[in-house]
Chain A
Amino acid sequence: MAKTILTVDDSASIRQMVSFTLKGAGYGVVEAVDGADGLEKAKANDVAMVLTDQNMPKMDGLTLIKSLRAMPKFQSVPILMLTTESGDAMKSQGKAAGATGWLVKPFDPPKLLEVVKKVIG
């Protein structure tokens, strides 16, 4: 059974790249264009993992993560933040919000697959 990954990013080109990469590796992909859309899509789909950007209109990544963690269904689903920096501030904010981990942008397809495989196999 293919595992479905929810990818949340307001950039269509990056969503497409992520989607193409993951699908090519046999994962299912659901795309969302911002945090609010991500929340809706998360509720409506059976996702094994969430990848979310930070800076998005309507609802940013950290808020999405907090909202997801408040839902029983998403207590233990791995959520990775896509972030442009790996400094301490990001890490503490992410951890506090309940993220499972982070992936630094820009990343390339092999890196993406490496991380996803580590998380959900």
Chain B
Amino acid sequence: MSGTDNTTAGDRGGAIDMSQFYRVFFDETAEHLAQMENLLLGIDPAQAGDEELNAIFRAAHSIKGGSGTFGFTDMTEVTHELESLLDKARKHEIVLTIEMVDALLAAGDVLKLQLARHRGEPDVAEPPVAEVCARIRCFVTGAAAPPVVSPAQAEAPQPKRALKIALPAPPGEDTLNKLFDDLGQYGEIEARRIEEGVCTFQFNTAASAQTLNDVFAFFVDPDAVRIEIAAAPAEDPGYGFFTDPAPAAAADPGYGFFVEMPSPPAAQPASPDAVAAPSPGRRASDRAEAERVRAGRRDTDKLVVSAQGDNASIRVGVEKVDQLINQVGELVITQAMLAQSVAKLDPALYQNILTGMSDLERNTRDLQESVMSIRMLPIAFVFNRFPRMARDLAAKLGKQVQLKMEGEATELDKGLIEKIADPLTHLVRNAIDHGIESAGKRIAAGKQEMGTVTLRASHQGGNIVIEVCDDGAGLSRDRILAKARERGLPVSDDMSDHDVWRLIFEAGFSTAEVVTDVSGRGVGMDVVKRNIAELGGTVEIEAATGVGTRIIVRLPLTLAIIDGMSIAVGGNVYIIPLAAVVESLQAASSEVKSVAGGGRVVEVRKEYLPVIALRDVFPTGETAAETTRSIMLVVESDGVKNALLVDELLGQQQVVVKSLETNYRKVPGIAGATIMGDGRVALILDVPALVQMSRH
């Protein structure tokens, strides 16, 4: 079989399209880089354990192996330096320092940039390769200061070549061994000889002359070193066998055998329970599979099964998951419509159908929950970027800050994860920049020098609650009130603390004394609040001056299904998200009063709430019947209450949210649409937007 394959094997081998493996390599590398960064952030350099060091080394080593195999030599170059330093560290030849960890982290950043470029991401910055490599190299060779390497002098990776080197043997065997140790970082040394005070050896290396000179300079006068390209350039076959009677010239084929390699071994003796011989047709199907894979993979169809011990997982395209969620949403609607029709049947006659419907409802709900959970990911995906960010930011500001995280396993919808990252980043930066005081101030205030920022996530009801807490300076009530007055905002001295803190969410608001380039230009908090509101969430601040600040973000677990109150206005059905509803009431005409300017207010327990007549917002041309009692829904948004005047309250139910924007276009005041049990379309109201609209 293999025999007849020879020609095709050779052709196919040479013609294999490696790019089909790139995506897996990129994903793998990204994981290794993330792991490397986490490990580096977590180690205590002076007391780094062997396990940790080995794990970091392995991550770098894996990246190097893959990048070399698939031809990403820029990444190979950087990982080679990383590996050298890490290898020395794990062999305890050197002790890690904070500076080395910083250099390693910087190398990781460079690799990330290189990876982004290879992935084809737009606008990727130029990775400072030469700088970072030099930085690491000087730790490896023990040089005092990193040589400043300008891009022009940057060393281009050379192909591997065989050199014959002769140098005056330095006094002492130790020195010579150290020299070979250092050289060994850059290639393989062979055929060492010392004759009459001159040491000669063969050196297979890809390092540049500059690099080698740097190494030699430590031990001998570089001018006394003679380097020649070996006469017969070592054709490196890249493999070997351990007892192959190799030709005397000992050219390294790149592989080798330890034992005699007989001609193709005899066929394995067939044992009674041998695995059934694969049918001849199998090769054809292998070939067909290869053709299909090569013919151009459809990204969304790429299925990679990786069994990692007890953690089997499958990669699936996001589009497939969204389609699945969509279809299950349709199923829920269909089931609701069916339930409504069936509800009219006589229970005595149709008991089986009614029982079946009840089972169907339960099954559908279970299916829905399972499908929604596919898109749920732990919030660790967002939290994970913060330790690094906090470390860098604290260092930049000269503060001591530790970041604690709780509840990283709390899950939320993938779409939310992507959108919550920016607002959370701003909150964490704020906490470090404005919240935590400088070490001096903290000590003066009787606090510990090290400030703490805590990120906490948990599920409460149908929401995910994310807290960003710091034990910093809290908020200054006076400064905020002063600033508010400055900006002409309506404030009074007897406002509650809660209301004062909320002023921070006003646009352009910042009481930062010094505008750092990090945060404090005053464009932050209002944008954060808006972003969170767009996700259907809320954000609140709690603070105690001198003690600390706590920001609480609440988000619905999913955007696709909400609890709503259905109402009728002008013959149409609308849904109001239950989260926005405070209460419903029937107001007598005497309780509804007109206000100068044409509006109306309703008195509710000594409070006057503006009335928004939905009939006016969504006119249908029908004239309203005169009623003595007005049905109102009190809604709250942005901490402000309004009363929506409606024709009828219909009920309360869970609805599947369909996007109006994707199916039609964006309509102000409308958050989405759904299909009711009777098949009619109901529009879901965007309460904050409605309130805004009614003010104009």
Interface, chain A (partner B; CB < 8 A)? 1-3, 10-14, 16-17, 20-21, 23-28, 33-34, 36-37, 45-46, 48, 53, 55, 57-58, 78, 80, 84-87, 91, 94-95, 99-115, 117-121
Q: Are A105 and B306 in contact (CB under 8 A)?
A: no
Q: A27-B2, A55-B61, A110-B10 are in contact. Are A100 and B258 (CB under 8 A)?
A: yes
Q: Are A86 and B254 in contact (CB under 8 A)?
A: yes
* Chain B: minimal CB distance from A100 (Å): 6
Q: Are B257 and A113 in contact (CB under 8 A)?
A: no
Name the CB-closest residue of B to A23: B286
In the complex, whether B259 has a CB less than 8 A from a CB of chain A is yes
In the complex, whether B194 has a CB less than 8 A from a CB of chain A is no
Cβ of B252: which chain A residues have Cβ within 8 Å of it?
86
Q: A2-B1, A21-B16, A110-B14 are in contact. Are A12 and B61 (CB under 8 A)?
A: no
Cβ of B257: which chain A residues have Cβ within 8 Å of it?
100-101, 119
- In the assembled complex, the Cα of A10 lies from the Cα of B188 at a distance in Å of 25
Q: Are A103 and B265 in contact (CB under 8 A)?
A: no
- In the assembled complex, the Cα of A59 lies from the Cα of B508 at a distance in Å of 58
For window 5-41 of chain B, which residues contact chain A by CB distance below 8 Å? 5-6, 8-10, 12-14, 16, 18, 20-22, 24-25, 28
- In the assembled complex, the Cα of A107 lies from the Cα of B255 at a distance in Å of 10
Name the CB-closest residue of A to B255: A103
In the complex, whether B615 has a CB less than 8 A from a CB of chain A is no
Q: Are A106 and B286 in contact (CB under 8 A)?
A: no
- In the assembled complex, the Cα of A31 lies from the Cα of B10 at a distance in Å of 22
Which 3 pairs of residues, A with B, have the shortest CB-CB distance? A121-B264, A101-B257, A106-B68
* Chain B: minimal CB distance from A32 (Å): 9
Interface range, B side: 35 or more
Cβ of B282: which chain A residues have Cβ within 8 Å of it?
2
Interface residue from A12, A21, A102 paired with B240 (Cβ < 8 Å): A102
In the complex, whether B278 has a CB less than 8 A from a CB of chain A is yes
In the complex, whether B241 has a CB less than 8 A from a CB of chain A is yes
Interface residue from B9, B16, B267 paired with A20 (Cβ < 8 Å): B16
- In the assembled complex, the Cα of A26 lies from the Cα of B683 at a distance in Å of 60
Q: Are B238 and A84 in contact (CB under 8 A)?
A: no
Q: Are A103 and B238 in contact (CB under 8 A)?
A: yes
The total of interchain contacts (Cβ-Cβ below 8 angstroms) comes to: 186
Q: Are A24 and B286 in contact (CB under 8 A)?
A: yes
Interface residue from A48, A55, A111 paired with B239 (Cβ < 8 Å): A111
Name the CB-closest residue of B to A17: B21
Give a binary string over B591-618; 1 marks a CB under 8 Å from any A CB, 0 the rest: 0000000000000000000000000000
Cβ of A78: which chain B residues have Cβ within 8 Å of it?
265
Q: Are B12 and A25 in contact (CB under 8 A)?
A: yes
Name the CB-closest residue of B to A58: B309
Q: Are A14 and B65 in contact (CB under 8 A)?
A: yes
- In the assembled complex, the Cα of A34 lies from the Cα of B261 at a distance in Å of 27
Cβ of B61: which chain A residues have Cβ within 8 Å of it?
55, 84
Q: A85-B188, A118-B261 are in contact. Are A106 and B2 (CB under 8 A)?
A: no
- In the assembled complex, the Cα of A119 lies from the Cα of B264 at a distance in Å of 7
- In the assembled complex, the Cα of A102 lies from the Cα of B241 at a distance in Å of 6
Interface residue from A57, A99, A112 paired with B58 (Cβ < 8 Å): A57
Q: Are B16 and A111 in contact (CB under 8 A)?
A: no
In the complex, whether B293 has a CB less than 8 A from a CB of chain A is yes
Interface residue from A34, A85, A100, A113 paired with B10 (Cβ < 8 Å): A113
Q: Are B9 and A113 in contact (CB under 8 A)?
A: yes
Name the CB-closest residue of A to B265: A120
Q: Are B65 and A84 in contact (CB under 8 A)?
A: yes
For window 244-293 of chain B, which residues contact chain A by CB distance below 8 Å? 244, 252, 254-259, 261, 263-265, 267-268, 274-275, 277-278, 282-283, 286-287, 289-290, 293
Name the CB-closest residue of A to B31: A12
> Can you report 24 A-B residue pairs in the complex whose CB atoms are below 8 A from each other?
A2-B278, A13-B24, A20-B21, A21-B12, A23-B289, A24-B16, A26-B1, A26-B9, A33-B309, A55-B62, A80-B239, A86-B256, A87-B188, A99-B242, A101-B239, A101-B240, A101-B244, A104-B255, A106-B65, A108-B69, A111-B254, A118-B261, A119-B257, A120-B265
Cβ of A26: which chain B residues have Cβ within 8 Å of it?
1-2, 5, 9, 283, 286
Q: Are B258 and A95 in contact (CB under 8 A)?
A: yes
Q: Are A101 and B258 in contact (CB under 8 A)?
A: yes
- In the assembled complex, the Cα of A3 lies from the Cα of B282 at a distance in Å of 12
Cβ of A106: which chain B residues have Cβ within 8 Å of it?
65, 68-69
Q: Are B275 and A16 in contact (CB under 8 A)?
A: no
